[in-house]
Chains A and B, each alone.
Chain A
């Protein structure tokens, strides 16, 4: 067996020109992008899908820094935001006829702008790694955010800059007026950018970037200038961030500095990239979906959504630092060895008890918010179909009871689950060892 593989030079390394599994995943991704608006036809759904589309690009570009390069940036919105502004000015110029750029290329204008600013600002930023890098990005983020207030001609002040994306006339009936046409423009960019960023992970620079993340000092001793590696990655990330920003400008037709280049926005990208999972390429895609669901749906549902978000983030950092993606991959591994079924009852238990605990906690949070914000409406409020009296002891005791019961049961389930998980992992390790020995 070994002699036959060693005799063909091609088997020195695993090179599969047609990786069937990968082809399938990408086809599914494309298909999903195409059919999504046909399945979810409401205008809200379309808005959300469009946002998901460009946020995928942004979160993936952010993860090029965080997950692949180990660069904790607090200022990614600088590049998406400035990309948005340049793109929207380009659209306005194009609308006046001063600049012959069709709308389909406007995201590229944003991308080039993002890249340009990454070239300028990144040169300083990427001189250092680690904490210093994070601090500099924070500083530059603040700098740009305050500049936005100083130059209202460019940033439009509080009102922002508006535009009209329908300037190019009709091309086979495509005017980019209707939201669905914009969605498909975003979807095409989303697919191409995702593919390009995935391809980047398989290039020499992409791999050395991982090496810089793992052990920058060692990289210096294998011939690479780590500053240069970080700088190049930063520029490429800036390019994709700018494309995302340009698409956002097309989607909203209005860009305000307070929203687009703020530190808060940078924090959002960081948070959701992390939630989605920075250690896997596809993690930020999940993050982008979560970001839209949280900011559109959750914020509609409750005023306390940022509080819930903070709690979720806290628990993720503590218990699943690899994000949702790592949870999925860990369970896929278990499934590969045919042991996922055994865990199903545990998961049901965890979900059930977790929900109960969350319900109790949510009641208390909502009552607190109700007392603070809606005092004029009286103490009565309805929450999930039940009527709570925020000033009645019974409601608080009831909620507390539900919370504590839920927590207690959850802890019991969790302990059982941890035991079971450990056992299954041992079995898998055992099986792998046996496989190696054969």
Chain B
């Protein structure tokens, strides 16, 4: 058992969270292997975003454990968790509006490269950080917008920048909260491709509503209903799962299949 714990990239053990008297997360269990892509699905208000907030340290769980590479991270602060190799994006675009695209990405890079709170060196002289930021900018295809303030980007570009900041620090475990929310179909398709590309080799958890995206992206699907993970399996098995069908998926899968996924 102890052997197992270290092999998982991210593990939730009987995780619970209450707001006041209402229990939102009611004993969630999940074990994600390194390099797996997991889509978290579930009806609105099932607690998907809360789960992300608990994992990333935005909220502290009421009880239960969160393990990152076998180490407890529940109750730690977001920046501590980030330093241990977990990074997340947000459902509502969360970037630095008055900094340029390049500066946004460079900010994401700095800590992981060990520059921390340095104020005795110039940014322009940090070649490795600048190069990394440049590479990221090319990965998310915003190199032409290098000096554009983030606030002036289009919505899709801002979403891409959000992903860029999230992966900038080189975290091995990435949480994306509805990365394609609010995008058009063609943008979504391109974006999924981008996400696959930039998270190659990393553990990925993503909250997603679009079933097409889910089945196109994920190795495994976790179904969250009323604060519990009621199923965690490959897309095929989840599709066939009777309990999931009843609880949530039925209509959503039919829709996705009708569209040819």
Contacts and interface: CB of A to CB of B under 8 A. Distances in A.
B94 A223 contact: no
Given A203-B119, A214-B98, A13 B130 contact: yes
- Which 6 residue pairs spanning A and B have beta carbons closest together? A223-B111, A13-B130, A205-B119, A214-B96, A220-B78, A12-B134
A205 B110 CA distance: 10
B122 A224 contact: no
Most buried by A among B77, B82, B117, B125: B117
25 contacts: A12-B130, A13-B102, A13-B131, A14-B124, A15-B124, A15-B125, A15-B130, A199-B122, A203-B118, A203-B119, A204-B110, A205-B119, A207-B106, A208-B107, A215-B95, A218-B96, A220-B77, A221-B79, A222-B107, A222-B108, A223-B79, A223-B82, A224-B111, A232-B117, A436-B144
Report which residue of A218, A223, A232 has the largest number of chain B beta carbons within 10 angstroms of its beta carbon.
A223
B1 interface: no
A303 interface: no
B159 to A, nearest CB: 14
Contacts of B130: 12-13, 15
A236 interface: yes
Given A12-B131, A12-B134, A222-B87, A207 B120 contact: no
Nearest to A223: B111
Contacts of A12: 130-131, 134
A217 B94 contact: yes
A225 interface: yes
A236 B77 CA distance: 25
A222 B169 contact: yes
Nearest to B78: A220
Contacts of A219: 79, 107
Nearest to A202: B122
Contacts of A213: 98
A14 to B, nearest CB: 8
B181 interface: no
A210 interface: yes
Interface in B73-111: 77-79, 82-83, 87-88, 90, 94-99, 102-103, 106-108, 110-111
Interface residues of A, number: 34
Given A12-B130, A222-B168, A225-B77, A205 B98 contact: no
B153 to A, nearest CB: 14
A282 interface: no
A429 to B, nearest CB: 11
A229 interface: yes
A278 to B, nearest CB: 12
B111 A215 contact: no
Contacts of B87: 221-222
Given A208-B107, A208-B110, A217-B94, A203 B79 contact: no
A228 interface: yes
B112 A223 contact: yes
A208 B117 CA distance: 8
A409 interface: no
A207 B103 contact: yes
A220 B87 CA distance: 10
Contacts of B103: 207, 210
B185 interface: no
Interface of B: 56, 77-79, 82-83, 87-88, 90, 94-99, 102-103, 106-108, 110-112, 115-126, 130-131, 133-134, 144, 165-166, 168-169
B77 A221 contact: no
A200 B83 contact: no
A436 B166 CA distance: 28
B126 A222 contact: no
Contact of B78 (A202, A203, A204, A221): A221
A54 B131 CA distance: 39
A9 interface: yes
Interface in A215-252: 215, 217-226, 228-229, 232, 236
A9 B96 CA distance: 27
Contacts of A202: 122-124
A221 B86 CA distance: 9
B119 A200 contact: yes
A1 to B, nearest CB: 13
B144 to A, nearest CB: 8
B36 to A, nearest CB: 22
Interface string A34-77: 00000000000000000000000000000000000000000000
A232 B134 CA distance: 28
B107 to A, nearest CB: 5
Contacts of A224: 79, 111
Residue of A14, A206, A222, A436 with highest tally of chain B CB at under 10 A: A222
Contacts of A223: 79, 82-83, 110-112, 169
B134 A13 contact: yes
A211 interface: yes
Given A202-B123, A204-B126, A214-B98, 5 more contacts: A211-B107, A220-B79, A222-B111, A225-B79, A236-B119
A218 B94 contact: yes
Contact of B56 (A204, A207, A221, A229): A221
